[in-house]
């Protein structure tokens, strides 16, 4: 009973803001700062806001802003100077700059409005401390509408990493974060390019963004920014993961008769939702569901498990809880060839790194309280230790999530009465 244990990419605990009026003011400023930095690289199917310059030793990318913004061009030309023979001096730098500008026309560019929307979604996928750290670190952020990150990477990296949904690199040349959306997250129109265009792609961007920026936050840094390791590789992280696995094992409620009855009545009601809503048979199933829910809600659920999960797209109580448990179990021990290793100790360490980075991903899907109940130890490690350490190396305060009461009311009313965007959940 219940869904297969796979990572759920299409669910979110909240509907992400995509417009400036929906954003906390300080977080909107951080999103705009990410765009202005020129570090946001987007491949939106037929449009791209960056170009690639490959050499025998390296592969570099340059965004349209880095090549054209007067505030960023001096730094870009300094990078270009390292790519031309010294004898060519300024002429060589200018020639390379013009060639990249010519390549930029072929890339067609990404509209500033779309760049800002992507930046807003990324800002909401991570903790404000991590967003500020991303800005201060100068890390390059790659986002693709494809189902993997292959189109964002150099040719020589495709075989090893191209099929990944997301990636976080700590190479000496600079930190990079790769995120795939699996479709157009801001779909509007009549014909979809992918069936996952719209909310599924929007949710996937938030979920994978949470995970990859979780990996980014997990890096232990000195005050100067030097990377010294990962918090998830400690003995404490291994103990936390083992304790959370034991915590999930105690939740036997899906096998409880009251839960099984509720799950089956929800299945029956869903059947008649599609074939005879408001018919006498439908009302019969509706009454059965109400009775089953009352029986189930009377259970003393262990571990502070919520009786109801508010997610988008919405699911009925038992189905949401079954999906939640399977998803939490899977992400403690993700099953993929890339995570396997002949040495059991190394394999467990890889699992710890993955599980720790997936704490914010799971929060994006299920909310803080649900994840805290399921993974109390890894939740404490991430938000109590890792976020605290990230905060300690910041040069500026992280953006606040606070909004005025007037803005909150405005968001509530505008979202309720405006025309529903095509990328909202069905």
- CA of residue 121 relative to chain centroid, distance: 9
Domain ranges of the chain: 50-108, 257-298
Task: Tell me the average pLDDT across 143-169.
Answer: 61
Structure tokens at 130: 């991590």
- pLDDT score, position 301: 61
The set of residues, in sequence order, having a beta carbon less than 8 Å from that of 192 and lying 6+ positions away, is: 183, 184, 198
Identify the bridge partners of residue 229 per DSSP, sorted by sequence position: 220
- Tell me: cis bond preceding 330? Omega within 30 of 0 counts: no
- pLDDT score, position 70: 94
- Separation between Cα atoms, residue 270 and residue 285, nearest integer Å: 9
Phi-psi region of 41 (alpha: psi -120 to 50; beta: other; left: phi over 0): beta
**418 or 128: which carries more pLDDT confidence?**
128
List the single range of 209-213, 270-274, 283-287 with lowest mean pLDDT. 270-274
- CA of residue 130 relative to chain centroid, distance: 13
Contact 353, 220 (CB under 8 A): no
**149 or 38: which carries more pLDDT confidence?**
38
Task: Tell me the average pLDDT across 159-165.
Answer: 52
Question: SS3 for 7-69, per residue?
Answer: CCCCCECCCCCCCHHHCCHHHHHHHHHHHHCCCEEEEECCEECEEEEECCCCEEEEEHHHHHC
Question: What is the maximal distance between C-alpha atoms in the chain?
Answer: 86
Q: HSE (CB half, 13 Å, CA atoms) of 128?
A: 15
Nearest to 308 by CA among 262, 277, 346, 349: 262
Highest average pLDDT, of 44-58, 205-219, 255-269, comes from 205-219
Q: Phi first, then psi: what are they for 367, rounded to 5°?
A: 95, 160
Residue 395: CB atoms within 10 Å: 10
Task: Tell me the average pLDDT across 52-77.
Answer: 84
- pLDDT score, position 159: 47
- Separation between Cα atoms, residue 211 and residue 214, nearest integer Å: 5
Contact 13, 311 (CB under 8 A): yes
Cα-based distances in Å from 18 to 53, 311, 421: 31, 18, 10
Q: Where are the alpha helices (DSSP H) in 174-316?
A: 199-218, 235-249, 257-275, 280-297
**157 or 261: which carries more pLDDT confidence?**
261
Nearest to 154 by CA among 51, 251, 80: 51
Summarize pLDDT for 298-356 with one digit per residue, the tens: 765 655 667 678 899 988 888 898 899 999 999 998 877 666 777 778 888 888 999 99
SS3 168: strand
Say whether pLDDT at 172 is over 50: no
- pLDDT score, position 251: 75
| pTM score, whole prediction | 0.89
Question: What is the 8-class DSSP label of residue 144?
Answer: E
Summarize pLDDT for 370-417 with one digit per residue, the tens: 999 999 999 999 999 999 999 999 999 999 999 999 999 999 999 888
- Separation between Cα atoms, residue 171 and residue 161, nearest integer Å: 14
Question: What is the 8-class DSSP label of residue 226?
Answer: -
Q: HSE (CB half, 13 Å, CA atoms) of 182?
A: 19
Say whether pLDDT at 155 is over 50: no
Summarize pLDDT for 92-138 with one digit per residue, the tens: 888 889 989 888 888 888 899 999 999 999 999 999 999 999 999 88
Q: Which of the four pLDDT bands, split at 50, 70 and 90, describes residue 152?
A: low
- Separation between Cα atoms, residue 360 and residue 134, nearest integer Å: 15
- pLDDT score, position 164: 60
- pLDDT score, position 90: 83
User: Which helix (DSSP H) or strand (DSSP E) does residue 373 occupy?
Assistant: helix 368-374
- pLDDT score, position 240: 94
- pLDDT score, position 239: 95
Cα-based distances in Å from 283 to 135, 265, 277, 296, 314: 54, 12, 8, 20, 20
Say whether pLDDT at 162 is over 50: no
Residue 384: CB atoms within 10 Å: 10
User: Can you state the angle between helices 257-275 and 317-332, rounded to 10 degrees?
Assistant: 120
- pLDDT score, position 158: 44
Task: Tell me the average pLDDT across 278-298.
Answer: 86
Nearest to 66 by CA among 58, 77, 82: 77
Mean of the per-residue pLDDT values of the chain:
86
Identify the bridge partners of residue 140 per DSSP, sorted by sequence position: 176
């Amino acid at each position: 009973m219940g869904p297969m244990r796979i990572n759920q990419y299409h669910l979110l605990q909240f509907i992400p803001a995509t417009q400036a009026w929906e954003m906390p003011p300080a977080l909107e400023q951080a999103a705009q700062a990410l765009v202005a930095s020129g570090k946001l690289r987007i491949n939106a199917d037929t449009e791209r806001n960056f170009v690639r310059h490959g050499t025998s030793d390296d592969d570099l990318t340059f965004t349209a802003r880095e090549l054209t913004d007067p505030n960023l061009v001096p730094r870009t030309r300094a990078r270009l100077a390292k790519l031309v023979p010294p004898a060519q001096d300024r002429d060589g730098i200018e020639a390379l700059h013009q060639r990249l500008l010519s390549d930029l026309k072929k890339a067609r560019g990404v509209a500033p409005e779309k760049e800002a929307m992507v930046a807003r979604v990324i800002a909401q996928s991570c903790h404000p401390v991590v967003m500020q750290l991303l800005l201060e670190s100068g890390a390059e952020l790659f986002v693709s509408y494809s189902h993997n990150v292959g189109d964002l990477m150099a040719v020589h990296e495709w075989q090893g990493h191209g099929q990944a949904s997301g990636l976080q690199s700590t190479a000496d040349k600079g930190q990079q974060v790769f995120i795939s959306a699996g479709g157009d997250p801001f779909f509007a129109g009549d014909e979809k390019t992918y069936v996952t265009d719209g909310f599924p792609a929007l949710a996937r961007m938030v979920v994978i963004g949470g995970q990859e920026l979780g990996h980014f936050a997990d890096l232990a840094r000195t005050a100067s920014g030097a990377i010294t390791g990962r918090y998830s590789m400690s003995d404490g992280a291994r103990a936390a993961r083992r304790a959370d696995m034991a915590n999930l094992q105690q939740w036997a409620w899906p096998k409880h008769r009251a839960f099984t009855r509720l799950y089956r009545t929800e299945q029956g009601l869903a059947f008649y939702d599609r074939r005879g809503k408001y018919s006498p048979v439908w009302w019969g199933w509706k009454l059965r569901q109400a009775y089953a829910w009352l029986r189930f809600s009377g259970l003393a659920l262990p571990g502070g498990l919520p009786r109801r999960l508010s997610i988008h797209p919405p699911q009925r109580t038992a189905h949401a809880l079954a999906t939640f448990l399977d998803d939490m179990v899977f992400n403690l021990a993700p099953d993929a060839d890339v995570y396997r290793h002949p040495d059991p100790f190394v394999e467990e360490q890889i699992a710890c790194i993955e599980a720790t980075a997936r704490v914010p991903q799971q929060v994006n899907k299920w909310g803080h309280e649900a994840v805290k109940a399921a993974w109390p130890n890894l939740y404490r490690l991430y938000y109590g230790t890792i976020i605290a350490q990230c905060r300690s190396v910041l040069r500026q305060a992280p953006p606040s999530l606070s909004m005025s009461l007037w803005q909150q009311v405005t968001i509530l009313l505008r979202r309720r009465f405006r025309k529903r965007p095509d990328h909202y959940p069905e």
